[in-house]
Structure 1
Amino acid sequence: MKIRYTNLLFIVLFSMLFVNGQQSIFQEGAYIVYSEDNEKVVLKDTLFKGRRALKLDGTSSSIALLDDINTKNFRVEMDIAGQVMSGLGFHAKDGMNYQFIYFRPQMGNTSEAIQYIPIYNGALSWVFYNYPVYETSTDIKSLEWFHAAFEVRGKNLKVFVNDEPEPKMNISILDNPVDSGKLLLRSLFGPSYFANITWQALTNTEIKEKTLPQTDFLTKWEISEQFPRDTITDYFDNILKRANVADNWKTINMVEDSYVNFSRYFKHPRGVLVAKTSIEADNQSIKNLHFDFVGRVKIILNGNDLFTYKKIRFERVFDSTFSIGLPLKEGKNELIVIVEGDAAFFGKGFRYLGRNQHTNWGFIARVED
């Protein structure tokens, strides 16, 4: 009889944790909460509109990290009631590197309601990864409960809302330092409530990756080390001199990502750098350079200044927001882009997990005849 009771107790506990193969996760005490100053915080579950929930207020409690599940192919479901930005981080190496999918309830029924971003070294590069691919619409409201399901197989991410059969988002996720890892919850600029969170491992189904399209986006660059930002007028000229003297260039070429996202390459993105590339021309000609950027930028071709933007640009980045003529000579042409990023927009930088840094830093560029 003792054995039977023990088995019965095990079955009851097992059934509490698993429903249709789904394991209840983010149970109180099973995760670590960090403030935006990277301090560990002890939280108790709260009650919000009839549901027992984990509350993150976005400042004194910013992220909740669950490190006892190594996720790769999975389905996570939860109820969310958020004010501004509420989301799930997955394939997390740590609190600085992960895939992030989040909701903007205040933007319900607009193209900005759901957004996916790869987080590199703490950078929330939301101005790069936007509509029509990485942002989409759904019917949600601020601080009202809705149900969300996230399904990842290989590089495919699907997001379902309120048990609708068709996903609101169905995309290929971009490379990050790991293709599996921890889970985390995150709230920004206001409170978010998370309830009834479950996780289920999915079979490692092979999914054919889409062939990368042949494009004329410039993705192959040599980049310098990062240098401190300055407020002196025309300090970019000095940055170029310092980069050439240091002669410490790193080749980058992420062909799957048309955005040149510098936060990917620095553990603490917060400076200004020089990027250079070569363009071969069969003869002397004028082509078009289509581009967009964040922060401040300067573009130089064969030693001649082509474009300078001295204000701080902080808007969504799209192909062809700016276009200029590119006078090419026959043979090799050196194109240089000096880029500062968005840190100055926030004063000393965007605050995340105890440090000020860039959250958007880079550009998009392509050459067209």
Structure 2
Amino acid sequence: MKRTVLFLCFCLVFSAAFAQKSETKNVPLEAAQWVFAPGTVEFIREKELPAMKILPEAGKVVAKDLDFSDGTIEFDVKPNSLTFYFHYQDAKENECFYLRMNRAGNSTALEGIQYAPLIDGVLLWDIYPHYQSNATFTRGDWNHIKLVISGAQMRIYVNDNEQPALEVEHLAGNPKRGSIAFEGDMVVSNLVVTPGKTEALSSLPGMDPTNNDPRYIRKWAVTNPVPIPENVDFSYDLLPSPETSWSVLEAERRGLMNLTRTFGENEARSIIWLKVNIQSIEEQKKKMNLGFLDGVWVFLNGQILYLDKNLQGRLMEKDPGGRCSVDNTSFMLPLKEGPNELLIGLANDPSWGRGMIARMGDMEGIEIKPDPTFDARLIELPEAIVRTYAGEYVFPNGTKMQVAVKGKYLHFSNESTLSTMLYPEADNKFFSRDFGFEIEFAKNKEDNVTHFIVYSNGQQVGQGKRIE
């Protein structure tokens, strides 16, 4: 009997707690409940109900004393424009849903509504194209919006409480709880928040459709952002150096390298380098699909292979609509037998998402691993040895070459076209990353450097005699 009484007491307490957790809360549409710039929000009545009129210049209008994680949010809205925020921590970290008002009245427009996280102040609509959809809504008239949020998932209903207009299988923002906010030009009424009412929506992330696809490259060696000088699109001076620091990062869902999450908003245009090593059992060509924002430079084994731009709203915009997608572009990788270095530079402007997705055509005969080194061939040589190779050399055709010490390495140049750094791979052998050749220095019996031999793809292609 005693156990039965205790069990009934437990059930009553649990039921009361659950009922409290799911208690519906009508959020007052009155000035004391909201944070806003003076003179930008009016509290009125519409159809005999309290309403909040937000003017276009208001910015974000944030609810006070509201801490929401899971549950249902519903409201009626008469918009000229509408952006709604939840899990709102501050203006830089939150989750966001908005209507694209130029699609109002067009129920078949694929990009009518959008969910996107705000990370470090960057709205990542352009790296999550799969989180947009069509919906039926009108400008300047009443619409009903309902969001059901449960852990990692969300459903958004627009003027239809039975069929969701957008299903988000994985919320991508950093905050998991916070306030709510509105931004735009609109009138809001009937704002209701019901914590805990998730309508049987799972809190676990939905399936990643790429999970069983081994072709995606999901680990990369990555540098920190490198600022790009003003009025410079690209320069070889931006390439990684032996002093460059690398870290290994894993892709997020769908193979996305979300570099905005890692590095935040960049203050000026900058470039990040990503690198892998592709081990090939034979000489062969492999197709690569690449999604990127917004400029990309692809180097294979030190040679430029591909460069492109993905600029939304311009002629160089890639499908779909200038967003990051594995369908943005594709090209062939001419792999040699053995190790191949794939180096990709990803550049973008401030306030735009920075992301990349890479997928091979197939994985037959190749193995891919992140390569957090400047070059696997590079060794450390004492500066005294490096200095012995400095001097002037001449090819049989009379072309003179200068070999000069530059830091811990050598600089190889002539007066006209050639200028490249030489990096040591042995006591007397150096390589050029820019041009793909190797230089081997030779000495006489007196241990003096007499000449160098040039190799390309393992074959001797030239020789230069030391004259100074």
TM class by shorter chain equals 0.7 to 0.9
The unaligned stretches of length 5 or more in structure 2 are: 1-19, 363-468
- Kindly indicate whether residue 139 of structure 2 is the aligned counterpart of residue 137 of structure 1: no
Counterpart of 2:359, as a letter, is R
Determine the structure 2 residue equivalent to 1:7. Answer: none
CA contact (8 A) 1:93 1:181 kept: yes
Paired with 2:141 and 2:257, the residues of 1 have a C-alpha distance of 37
The residue type equivalent to 1:326 in the other structure is L
Alignment of 1:193 with 2:187, yes or no, is yes
**Contact kept in structure 2, 1:220 and 1:251, CA below 8 Å:** yes
2:96 counterpart of 1:100: yes
Alignment partner, residue 63 of structure 2: 66
1:83/1:192 contact within 8 Å kept: yes
Corresponding residue for residue 316 of structure 1: 323
More divergent stretch after superposition (151-160 vs 61-70): 61-70
Question: Kindly, what percent of the aligned residue pairs are identical?
Answer: 20
Mapped partners of 1:72, 1:252: distance in 2: 29
8 Å contact kept, 1:75–1:149: yes
- Matches of 2:62 and 2:40 in 1, distance apart? 13
Tell me how far apart the structure 2 counterparts of residues 164 and 304 of structure 1 sit (CA, whole Å): 56
Task: Choose from 80, 83, 99 the match for 1:87.
Answer: 83
Report the equivalent of 1:299.
Answer: 298
Q: Offset at 1:105?
A: 3.0
Determine whether 1:149 maps to 2:146: yes
Task: Kindly state the Cα deviation for residue 30 of structure 1 after the two structures are TM-superposed.
Answer: 2.1
TM norm structure 1:
0.77
Paired residues for 1:197-346 under 5 Å: 197-202=191-196, 207-212=203-208, 213-215=211-213, 216-233=215-232, 235-241=234-240, 244-270=241-267, 271-272=269-270, 273-309=272-308, 312=311, 313=316, 315-341=322-348, 343=349
C-alpha displacement of 1:102 = 1.5
Alignment partner, residue 25 of structure 1: 27
Partners of 2:137 and 2:159 within 8 A in 1: no
- In 2, Cα distance between equivalents of 1:302 and 1:41: 59
Cα gap change, 1:292 to 1:54, in 2 (>3 Å): same
Q: Deviations over 1:93-140 (max 9, x none)?
A: 32212221211232131111111112211111222222xx31111111
2:357 counterpart of 1:360: no
- SS at structure 1 position matched to 2:120: coil
Alignment of 1:116-127 (within 5 A): 116-127=115-126
> Does the CA contact (< 8 Å) of 1:45 and 1:52 recur in 2?
no
Equivalent position of 1:113 in the other structure:
112
| Aligned residue in 2 for 1:9 | none
In the alignment, the residues of structure 1 paired with residue 242 and residue 67 of structure 2 have an alpha-carbon distance, to the nearest angstrom, of 44
SS at match of 2:239: helix
**Contact conserved, 1:124 with 1:359, CA < 8 A, in 2?**
yes
Structure 1 283/151 Cα, relative in aligned 2: closer, same or farther at 3 Å?
Answer: same
Task: Note the C-alpha offset of 1:174.
Answer: 3.4
* CA displacement 1:320-344 (0-9 Å, x = unmatched): 2311101223343322221222x3x
Q: Secondary structure at the match of 1:177?
A: coil
- Three-state SS of the structure 2 residue aligned to 1:127 is helix
The secondary structure found in structure 1 opposite 2:58 is coil
* Aligned AA (1:32): V
Shift of 1:287: 0.8
Residues 299 and 308, structure 1, Cα contact 8 Å, conserved in 2: yes
Q: SS in structure 2 opposite 1:184?
A: strand
Q: Secondary structure at the match of 1:265?
A: helix
Tell me the CA shift for residue 358 of structure 1.
2.1
TM-score by length of 2: 0.62
Change (3 A) 1:44 1:255: closer
> Does the 8 Å CA contact 1:65/1:183 hold for their aligned counterparts?
yes
Shift in CA distance, 274/162, structure 1 to aligned 2, threshold 3 Å? same
Question: What code does the residue aligned with 1:228 have?
Answer: P
Bigger Rg, which one: 2
What is the aligned residue count? 322
Counterpart amino acid of residue 368 in structure 1:
G
Q: Structure 1 residues 281 and 69 mapped into 2: Cα distance closer, same or farther (>3 Å)?
A: farther
Opposite residue 80 of structure 1, the aligned amino acid is V
Letter of the 1:180 counterpart: R
Report the 3-state secondary structure (helix = DSSP H, G, I; strand = E; otherwise coil) of the residue aligned with 1:217: coil
Q: Is the 8 A contact 1:236 1:298 kept in 2?
A: no
Of 93-102 and 264-273, deviating more is 264-273
